[in-house]
Structure 1
Amino acid sequence: MMVFMNGEETRTITSPPVRSSARDADADADLRTPRTRAWMTRLVIVGIVLTALNLRPAITSSGALLEEVRDGLGMSGSVAGLLTSVPPLCFALFGVMAPRLARRFGLAAVVAAGMLAIGTGLVVRPFAGSTAGFLVATAVALMGIAVSNVLMPVIVKRWFPDRVGSMTGLYSMALALGTATAAAATVPVTRALGGSWQAGLAVWAALAAVAVLPWLPLVRAKGTPLSAAGTAPAPVAGTVTEGRQEPAPLRITRSRTAWALAVFFGLQATAAYITMGWMAQIFRDAGVPAGTAGLLLAVTMVMGVPLAFVIPRLATRLPHQGPIVIALGLCGFAGYAGLYLAPAGGAWAWALLLGISNCAFPLALTMVGMRARTGAGVAQLSAFAQSTGYLISIPGPLLVGVLYQHSGGWGLPIALMAGLMVPQVVVGVLAGRDRTVEDEAAATR
């Protein structure tokens, strides 16, 4: 495959595909007709948006009701910190499996199964009746989120190779919208359902059930880049296939950019999961009512809706993404300083600043697509950066819970959050340099 990318423009050189059978050839020919291609493209876009909407409600809904969950299950502050560390742990453990599962069963099948796992976990966990059961059911939902997290950049790269920035922006915007909606609506929905925190958490399973639907026709549509299992993508618009032979895996650990991107991903994830798990509690402890605290968390999350669309498009037009990393880091410093000095007095301003800072996530996803030239390279880099990054992020939320419980306040936890911004900016600047993991891995042989 030879693909030359410059920003959002892609020039493709196509060579004849190797057909495994006449039936495969006929199927691929049918899929390349304009009418079929058009409806499949629309279906992929719908699937991407619905999937993205489901990638954070499992986390922010429990964050909005953390106090009720703790009281209902008898959790200590340290155990609650463990709960906020479960998402990155699951993302690290299960995310690394995503490329192998996709090669075996196809991208669409794995994402559909992921949405089903999310729905199942969200239905079961509120009624598990114990802390252990709650954590296990949460892990089931997070397993579905983990594989979808890793595969979304791969789907964007394979289906929209000439629109990586705009499609990553759409995906990130939908993800931020789902995050913010769950944060803002969980408390009011719980009240509308009679004050039951179990019902308030379980209701989000319905959204996951809807997200399964658009992937099912793509699983059945043989010969597409999303249904292929263990094969190169079929030659649809914007992709190239030189045969069914899968490219040799990269030695991804030899790339300094891959490591920088993994650490950047891990540190931004640390900040994000601390925010999602603890920010509402910080405001509530400062005297802010529970409903308002949920709205403040929603404001932080909703900032990602417009910015998640703008930042990836801007990033693909810059030769170096370092200036964006620095700007986001400065917003984070300002937000944490405000939380430390006047958490209730300037609550809305701190929520806005931290919402801007959390847009390091769509920037990291965009850099995953930009730091590799091929779909296979993106799959490996996405799995490596996300799995390694989430491993790095595991101690952060847990440490915040321990510091909060043993110090009796939020001063030390907030100081920790601000301190982690320094290495995040440094590695983000390194990850933003204009180079690819394929070139770096080859240079070290």
Structure 2
Amino acid sequence: MGLMAREETRTTQPTTVRTSATDPAVDVASDAQGDAQAAAMRAPRAWVVRLVVVAIVLSALNLRPAITSLGALLEEVRDGLGMSGGVAGLLTSMPPLCFALFGGMAPRLARRFGPSAVVCAGMLAITAGLLIRPYAGSTAGFLAASALALMGIAVSNVLMPVIVKRWFPDRVGSMTGLYSMAVALGTAAAAAVSVPMTDALGGNWQSGLALWAVLAAVAVVPWVPLLRDRGAAPDARGAASTAAKAPASSAGRTPAREEAAAPVRITRSRTAWALAVFFGLQATAAYITMGWMAQIFRDAGVPASTAGLLLAVTMVMGVPLAFVIPRLASRLPHQGPIVVALGVCGLAGYAGLYAAPAAGAWAWALLLGIANCAFPLALTMVGMRARTGVGVAQLSAFAQSTGYLISIPGPILVGVLYQSSGGWGLPIALMTGLMIPQMVVGVLAGRNRTVEDEAAR
């Protein structure tokens, strides 16, 4: 596996250290060298790094099936539970609502219990929620169980960029691409096979939804050996490099230590706000697509199984692009051109969905799938717009929590507009209008700067 880090060789040779009461720089340099040696001694074994990669991929596969499996079977769920259009709109707005409410808790929980333990608990919550909600027997119970699963997704959403930054600080782009590709694959798989799987189970939508709990249960397993990981920087190479290269400080501390110890006043950063709004608007488009696009095609005369497949095509576009876009973005000083290109694809997809939803269904599904790759781009920018692990954790929590708060009204408003107007003209006009500010704030968030520098000013 090319992405795996090789096991570091432990250093056993003694180091000669000179001390001088008149030359404090010697002491500081010795401290830095000692830090580098200590970091090398703490280098994780190769199998641990491989296990982290497996855990990240399996967890990423479970971050969207709870949503897209419901989108593919929304009509059956509405009929089975007697939901109105407004309540269905609330249901499709639950993901961003829960992500906003529970995502902000993730950094605090991670500091207390460790990121691995929190993500492991998140996978358990997803398993329980997906298993309980189809058999809750009422709309209120269905919503409550969905909230449990979404809570697990929320904390995992926030901590995934943190885990990537900690374990793979020199490969943020490629690892974010791998993680985003797994998210897209899980999203597409749930959209594609939920309807056929339900048909194979005799048309029982409860069983069709509950089966996704098995995938979440599998994702718990690789995190169990990592539960004791509570350290601040398990990647010894990054720590050793920082300690060895850091200049001496008159206080006897390296700059890396000072940055790691200082929290970032994230709300003072314009880039953080731009990234939060960009995240919110792309999430609005994504959850409207996941919750309603299959229904748009079905109302245009497309069979239910084909509509689910079209949604799967939209989601599966993120599999290759979610790997390519973060790698490309990490090589560019400014990610604005990528933001604009994705936005143009979204505008074209919405225009086609309005003019000829059935005739050009496959083309519109492809274009909207490309536009939805703003999500891995946003995750990549989270890792690029902060220098330290503390900064990434704060920026990830702030951008995702604030962004998901922004995205809450979108799916609800689409449901209300659809029910009140009896068609999809107004909802599609809303989706199109939101794409313009998404492109603007995305360009601002893509500028080459860090939140630490902006907050300091």
Q: Which amino acid is 1:232 matched to?
A: A
What amino acid maps onto 2:108 in structure 1?
A: R
Name the counterpart of 1:356. 370
Are 2:314 and 2:368, in contact at CA under 8 Å, matched by a contact in 1?
A: yes
Q: Name the CA shift for 1:189/1:313 in 2 (closer, same or farther; >3 Å).
A: same
The separation in 1 between residues aligned to 2:234 and 2:141, in whole angstroms, is 43
* Cα deviation, residue 249, structure 1: 1.5
**Matching residue of 1:313:** 327
1:367-390 deviation per Cα after TM superposition (whole angstroms, max 9, x unaligned): 000000011100000000000000
- SS of residue matched to 1:237: helix
Counterpart in 2 of 1:236? 236
- Counterparts of 2:144 and 2:264, CA distance in 1: 34
The one-letter amino acid paired with 1:269 is A
Written as runs of structure 1 = structure 2, the 5 A alignment for 1:284-323 is 284-323=298-337
Gap change, CA 1:343 and 1:332, over 3 Å in 2: same
Q: Is the 8 A contact 2:123 2:153 kept in 1?
A: yes
The normalised TM-score by structure 2 is: 0.88
Matched, 1:191 2:199: yes
Q: How many residues align?
A: 413
Tell whether 2:184 aligns with 1:176.
Answer: yes
SS at match of 2:386: coil
How far the C-alpha of 1:15 sits from its partner, in A, is 5.5
Supply the distance in 2 between the matched residues of 1:89 and 1:198 (Cα, whole angstroms): 24
The 2-side partners of 1:246 and 1:219 are apart by 22
Q: Is the 8 A contact 2:168 2:235 kept in 1?
A: no
Contact 2:66 2:130 in 1 (8 A): yes
Deviation of 1:258 after TM superposition, in Å, equals 0.1
Whole-angstrom CA distance in 2 between matches of 1:62 and 1:87: 11
What is the rounded CA distance, in whole Å, between the counterparts of 2:142 and 2:42 in structure 1? 44
Q: Which residue of 1 aligns with 2:101?
A: 93
Q: Distance in 2 between matches of 1:246 and 1:365?
A: 21
CA distance in 1 between counterparts of 2:234 and 2:368 reads: 42
Q: Distance in 2 between matches of 1:115 and 1:244?
A: 34
Return the match for 2:133 from 125, 136, 159. Answer: 125
Corresponding position: 1:206 with 2:220 = no
User: Matches of 2:94 and 2:320 in 1, distance apart?
Assistant: 28
**Cα distance, 1:75–1:43 mapped onto 2, change above 3 Å:** same
- CA positional deviation for 1:350: 0.1
Q: Map 1:64-143; keep pairs closer than 5 Å.
A: 64-143=72-151
Alignment of 1:332-351 (within 5 A): 332-351=346-365
Coordinate RMSD, CA, aligned? 1.8
| 2:166 aligned with 1:152 | no
The alpha carbon displacement at 1:192 in A equals 1.1
The question of whether the paired residues in 1 share the 8 Å contact of 2:195 and 2:308 is answered with: yes
The structure whose Rg is larger is 2
Q: Deviations over 1:361-418 (max 9, x none)?
A: 0000000000000111000000000000000000000000000000000000000000
Q: Which residue of structure 2 lines up, in the alignment, with residue 7 of structure 1? A: none
Note the C-alpha offset of 1:17. 4.5
- Asked if 1 retains the 8 angstrom alpha-carbon contact of 2:121 and 2:152, the reply is yes
Change (3 A) 1:15 1:106: farther
Contact 1:18 1:244 in 2 (8 A): no
CA contact (8 A) 1:270 1:393 kept: yes
Once residues 217 and 288 of structure 1 are traced to their aligned partners in structure 2, the CA distance between those partners, rounded to angstroms, is 47
Q: Indicate the residue corresponding to 1:10 in structure 2.
A: none
Secondary structure of 1:344's aligned partner: coil
SS in 1 for 2:232: coil
Alignment equivalent of 1:281, drawn from 295, 318, 321: 295
Please say if residues 51 and 115 of structure 1, whose CA atoms lie closer than 8 Å, have aligned partners that are also in contact.
yes
Aligned pair in 2 of structure 1 residues 71, 99: CA closer, same or farther (>3 Å)?
A: same
The DSSP-based 3-state class of the residue aligned with 1:75 is: coil
Q: For residues 148 and 327 of structure 1, what CA distance do their matches in structure 2 show? A: 29
CA distance in 2, matches of 1:271, 1:360: 10
Could you tell me which residue of structure 2 aligns to residue 366 of structure 1? 380
d(CA) in 1 for partners of 2:455 and 2:33? 26
**2: CA distance between counterparts of 1:203 and 1:179?**
15
How big is the shift at 1:14? 5.9
Say if 1:31 and 1:37, in contact at 8 Å, map to a contact too: no
Confirm or deny: 8 A CA contact 1:190 1:200 kept in the other structure. Answer: yes
Match of 1:395 among 400, 405, 409: 409
Cα deviation, residue 232, structure 1: 2.8
List gaps (5 residues or longer) in structure 1: 1-12, 20-24, 221-226
Query: Partner amino acid for 2:379?
Result: L
Q: What is the CA deviation profile of residues 248-301 of structure 1, one whole-angstrom value per residue up to 9, with x for unaligned ones?
A: 211100000000000000000000000000000000000000000000000000
C-alpha displacement at 1:236, in angstroms?
1.7
Q: Which residue of 1 aligns with 2:262?
A: 248
Q: Deviations over 1:52-76 (max 9, x none)?
A: 0000000000000000000000000
The one-letter amino acid of 2:400's match is Q
Q: 1:41 aligned to 37, 40, 49, which one?
A: 49
Give me the whole-angstrom Cα distance separating, in 1, the residues matched to 2:45 and 2:34: 19
Q: Structure 1 counterpart of 2:233, which letter?
A: P
CA 1:293/1:15 → structure 2, altered by over 3 Å: closer, same or farther? farther
Residue number in structure 2 paired with 1:258:
272
How big is the shift at 1:37?
A: 1.7
The code of the aligned residue for 1:400 comes to V
What is the rounded CA distance, in whole Å, between the counterparts of 1:312 and 1:383 in structure 2? 19
Paired with 1:245 and 1:282, the residues of 2 have a C-alpha distance of: 49
SS of equivalent residue, structure 2 residue 147 = helix
Measure how far apart 1:246 and its partner are: 6.0
Describe the shift of the 1:16–1:387 C-alpha distance in structure 2 as closer, same or farther (beyond 3 A): farther
Give the AA of the match of 1:209: A
Identity level (%): 81
TM-score by length of 1: 0.90
Match of 1:120, as an amino acid?
Answer: A
- Shift in Å at residue 235 of structure 1? 5.9
Of 360, 377, 389, the match for 1:375: 389
Aligned match of 1:414? 428
CA distance in 1, matches of 2:45, 2:309: 41
Q: Aligned partner of 2:439: which letter?
A: V
SS in 2 for 1:319: coil
**Contact persistence 2:166–2:235 (CA under 8 A):** no
